[in-house]
Copies of this chain bind each other. A is one copy, B any other.
Amino acid sequence: MKEIEVISEIRKFNRSYVRSIGLLQKTFLDTNYSLTESQVIFLVKEQGKTTATAINKVLQLDEGYLSRIIKKLISDSLLIKEQSQTDKRCFEIMLSPKGIEEQRKMDKLSSESVRAIISHLSETEQQELAGSFQRIMALLYKENRHKTS
């Protein structure tokens, strides 16, 4: 297989895969939140007590836009915000109990949607599938570590 065929194969995968995992939908996973809002929630969960700036290192949204998303999530009582005592420019944000619950719910739904896709596969096939995904990640993200940071 020539490089050009490899590329074509990958692009074929991209087209069908992205459609199948439903990442293009407006509301993510039938919760009331958009993909972007969900990403914020997941990142706060991941980073624990964090800040808008830290979140935006990952998501790279417009600052104003992110500020408003956080505001909305606070008014929905999913997030808590308090001014840092050591640096009063910063506001520490974290998940509220309700936010933790919501994040868990999303996490479950996301797992379920993946499960639905793989459930008809045999044990062995599932192993193969996971192996292939791992192999791809290993190949794609190898040797790029020094470039990425």
Contacts and interface: CB of A to CB of B under 8 A. Distances in A.
Interface of A: 1, 3-14, 16-18, 20-21, 23, 110-111, 114-115, 117-118, 120-121, 125-130, 132-137, 139-141, 143-144
A3 B130 CA distance: 10
By Cβ-Cβ distance, the 6 closest A-B pairs, closest first, are: A132-B132, A13-B133, A6-B130, A9-B130, A6-B126, A7-B114
Copies, count? 2
A10 B114 contact: yes
A111 to B, nearest CB: 5
B14 A127 contact: no
A139 B10 CA distance: 15
A133 B3 CA distance: 14
B125 A139 contact: yes
B13 A137 contact: yes
Contacts of A4: 111
A149 to B, nearest CB: 15
Given A1-B127, A7-B111, A12-B137, 12 more contacts: A6-B126, A10-B114, A10-B129, A13-B134, A17-B137, A18-B18, A18-B23, A20-B140, A128-B135, A128-B139, A129-B140, A132-B136
